Amino acid sequence: MTDDDPHTEPVAPARTDGGTKGADDVTLDPWGSSTVADYRKLFEEFGIETFDALLADVPNPHYLMRRGVIFGHRDYEPVAEAMANDEPFAALSGFMPTGDPHIGHKLVFDELIWHQQQGGDVYALIADLEANSARGMSWTEIDEHAESYLLSLLALGFDPDEGELYRQSENDELQELAFELGAKANFSEFQGIYGFDGETSVSHMQSVVTQMADILYPQLDEPKPTVIPVGPDQDPHVRLARDLASRMRYFKVTKAYASFELEDAERDLVARAYEALADNEDDVRCSDAAAWLESEAPDDPALESAVAKLDAGGKEPLRPRVRFFDRNATADAFEALIEAIDGEKRVYEGHIDSFELDREAAAELAREVELDHGGYGFRPPSSIYHRFMTGLTGGKMSSSDPASHISLLDDPEDGYDKVKAAATGGRETAEKQRELGGEPDGCPVYELYAYLLAGDDDGLATEVYDECIGGDRLCGGCKEQAAELMAEFLDDHQEKREEARELLADLDIELESSRR
Ligand code: TRP
Ligand code: SF4
Average the pLDDT over 20-34 and give the result: 55
- pLDDT at position 13: 31
For 175-232, write each residue's pLDDT tens digit. Answer: 999 999 999 999 999 999 999 999 999 999 999 999 999 999 999 999 999 999 999 9
Same domain, 233 and 331: no
pLDDT of residue 463 exceeding 50, the answer is yes
Residue 367 lies in a domain: yes
Q: Nearest ligand to the C-alpha of residue 446?
A: 2
User: Residue 282: which domain range?
Assistant: 251-372
Which one, of 286, 275, 285, 288, lies nearest residue 309 by Cα?
286
Same domain, 243 and 267: no
Same domain, 73 and 210: yes
Rounded distance from Cα 211 to ligand 1 centre (Å): 6
Q: How far apart are CA 493 and CA 7, in angstroms?
A: 19
Which one, of 209, 208, 216, lies nearest residue 123 by Cα?
216
Same domain, 84 and 195: yes
End-to-end CA distance of the chain: 19
Same domain, 83 and 207: yes
Residue bearing the CA closest to ligand 2, atom 8: 475
Q: Which helix (H) or strand (E) holds 228?
A: strand 226-230
Q: Nearest ligand to the C-alpha of residue 97?
A: 1
Average the pLDDT over 460-468 and give the result: 96
Contact (Cβ atoms closer than 8 angstroms) between residue 271 and residue 257: yes
Same domain, 296 and 362: yes
Contact (Cβ atoms closer than 8 angstroms) between residue 222 and residue 372: no
Rounded distance from Cα 104 to ligand 1 centre (Å): 14
pLDDT band at 9 (very low <50, low <70, confident <90, very high): very low
Residue 435 lies in a domain: yes
pLDDT band at 6 (very low <50, low <70, confident <90, very high): very low
Same domain, 77 and 153: yes
Average the pLDDT over 269-298 and give the result: 94
pLDDT of residue 3 exceeding 80, the answer is no
Q: How far apart are CA 238 and CA 241, in angstroms?
A: 5
Residue bearing the CA closest to ligand 1, atom 8: 94
Closest atom, ligand 1, to C-alpha of 127: 7
Residue 161 lies in a domain: yes
- pLDDT at position 341: 97
Rounded distance from Cα 253 to ligand 1 centre (Å): 30
Cα–Cα–Cα angle for 34, 445, 464, rounded to 5 degrees: 130
pLDDT band at 11 (very low <50, low <70, confident <90, very high): very low
pLDDT of residue 20 exceeding 70, the answer is no
Rounded distance from Cα 432 to ligand 2 centre (Å): 13
Q: How far is CA 103 from the centre of its chain?
A: 20
pLDDT band at 35 (very low <50, low <70, confident <90, very high): low
Last residue of a domain, one of 386, 421, 437: 386
pLDDT of residue 24 exceeding 50, the answer is no
> What does R_g of the chain's alpha carbons equal in angstroms?
26
Q: Residue 119: CB partners within 8 Å, gap ≥ 6?
A: 83, 86, 89
- pLDDT at position 395: 85
Q: How far is CA 297 from the centre of its chain?
A: 38
Question: How many H-runs (helices) and E-runs (strands) does the chain carry?
Answer: 21, 11
Residue 8 lies in a domain: no
Q: Residue 442: CB partners within 8 Å, gap ≥ 6?
A: 390, 425
- pLDDT at position 27: 63
Please tell me the total count of domains within the chain: 3
Question: Which of 393, 447, 478, 479 for mutating ligand 2's site (highest number of atoms within 8 Å of CB)?
Answer: 478
* Burial 431-468, CB ≥16 within 10 A → b, else e: eebeeebbebeebbbbbbbbbbbbeeeeebbeebbebb
For 232-264, write each residue's pLDDT tens digit. Answer: 999 999 999 999 999 999 999 999 999 999 999
Same domain, 270 and 356: yes
pLDDT band at 10 (very low <50, low <70, confident <90, very high): very low
pTM, 2 dp: 0.91
Closest atom, ligand 1, to C-alpha of 211: 9
pLDDT band at 1 (very low <50, low <70, confident <90, very high): very low
Residue 111 lies in a domain: yes
pLDDT of residue 31 exceeding 90, the answer is no
Residue 278 lies in a domain: yes
pLDDT of residue 8 exceeding 70, the answer is no
Q: How far apart are CA 208 and CA 81, in angstroms?
A: 30
Rounded distance from Cα 422 to ligand 2 centre (Å): 10
Q: Nearest ligand to the C-alpha of residue 476?
A: 2
What does the DSSP assignment read for 38-103?
-HHHHHHHH-PEESHHHHTTSSS--HHHHTTSEEEEES-HHHHHHHHTT---EEEEEE--SS--BH
What does the DSSP assignment read for 182-203?
HTT--HHHHHHHH---TTS-HH
For 348-384, write each residue's pLDDT tens digit. Answer: 999 999 999 999 999 999 999 999 999 999 999 999 9
Q: Is residue 81 exposed (0-12), middle (13-18) or buried (19+ Cβ within 10 Å)?
A: middle
Give the percent of the chain with pLDDT over 70: 94
Contact (Cβ atoms closer than 8 angstroms) between residue 116 and residue 389: no
Same domain, 436 and 473: yes
pLDDT band at 38 (very low <50, low <70, confident <90, very high): confident
Question: Which of 7, 8, 95, 129 for mutating ligand 1's site (highest number of atoms within 8 Å of CB)?
Answer: 95
Edge to edge, what strands does the sheet with 251-256 contain? 251-256, 321-326, 351-354, 345-347
Last residue of a domain, one of 325, 355, 386: 386
- Ligand 1 surroundings by CB, under 6 angstroms: 6-7, 30, 92-94, 96, 125, 127, 130, 211, 214-215, 228, 230, 234
Residue 14 lies in a domain: no
pLDDT of residue 4 exceeding 90, the answer is no
The CATH number covering residue 187 comes to: 3.40.50.620
Residue bearing the CA closest to ligand 1, atom 11: 94
Contact (Cβ atoms closer than 8 angstroms) between residue 347 and residue 379: no
Across the chain, what does the average pLDDT equal? Answer: 92
Last residue of a domain, one of 351, 386, 421: 386
Q: Where are the beta strands (DSSP E) in 387-451?
A: none
Bigger pLDDT: 284 vs 36 = 284
Q: How far apart are CA 328 and CA 240, in angstroms?
A: 18
The CATH number covering residue 456 comes to: 1.10.240.10
Same domain, 63 and 139: yes
Same domain, 351 and 414: no
Residue 17 lies in a domain: no
Rounded distance from Cα 116 to ligand 2 centre (Å): 34
Closest atom, ligand 2, to C-alpha of 422: 8
- pLDDT at position 33: 60
Contact (Cβ atoms closer than 8 angstroms) between residue 341 and residue 357: yes
- Ligand 2 surroundings by CB, under 6 angstroms: 424-426, 438-440, 443, 445-446, 464, 468, 473, 475, 478-479
- pLDDT at position 255: 95
Contact (Cβ atoms closer than 8 angstroms) between residue 490 and residue 144: no
Same domain, 151 and 234: yes
Q: Which helix (H) or strand (E) holds 252?
A: strand 251-256
Question: Which of 102, 106, 211 for mutating ligand 1's site (highest number of atoms within 8 Å of CB)?
Answer: 211
Q: Nearest ligand to the C-alpha of residue 449?
A: 2
